[in-house]
């Protein structure tokens, strides 16, 4: 597993939990609505309760109102009042990390969230692992305004 220079967040998850998260993200990606870009993304968040919530990207002809899989998963958790997040897995055709908007959105709820990301066909060993505080080192916080 590729890794940034952070303490290994893998130790926070069992292989079984990570495998479930990866499968859930892949299942979510298959449900994506991406008629314009054909770039399907799935994300799954492991809640500290042990539950998993997932989301897929939903495109729109007006690209600015497209919503990313990470934010769909996060909003699902938030709507269910599940704010204790343990990790997120994101899969996409090329294995990209979360965009800047998703990084800032996620940081509102879990500023040091472990993030695993990879290609749609990734195995556990092929996921890149990092954390939100590494990807977004100067997170904007309300108390800083």
Residue of 125, 130, 136 whose CA lies nearest to 22: 125
Contacts of 64 (CB under 8 A, 6+ apart): none
Nearest-5° angle of CA 51, CA 55, CA 58? 170
Q: Of these residues, 15, 59, 70, 143, which one is catalytic? A: 70
CA–CA separation, 24 vs 90, rounded Å? 10
Query: Cα 116 to the chain's mean position, in Å?
Result: 7
Catalytic residue flag (residue 70): yes
Strand partners for 3:
129
Please list the active-site residues.
70
């Amino acid at each position: 597993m590729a890794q940034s220079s952070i303490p290994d967040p893998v130790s926070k998850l069992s292989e079984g939990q990570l495998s479930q998260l990866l499968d859930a993200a892949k299942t979510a990606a298959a449900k994506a609505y991406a008629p314009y870009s054909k770039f399907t993304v799935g994300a799954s968040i492991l809640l500290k309760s042990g539950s998993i919530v997932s989301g897929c990207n939903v495109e729109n002809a007006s690209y600015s109102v497209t919503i990313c899989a990470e934010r769909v998963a996060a909003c699902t958790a938030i709507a269910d009042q599940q704010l204790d997040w343990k990790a997120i897995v994101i899969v996409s055709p090329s294995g990209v990390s979360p965009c800047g908007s998703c990084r800032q959105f996620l940081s509102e709820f879990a500023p040091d969230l472990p993030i695993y990301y990879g290609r749609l066909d990734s195995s556990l060993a092929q996921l890149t692992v990092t954390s939100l505080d590494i990807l977004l080192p100067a997170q904007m916080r309300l108390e800083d305004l």
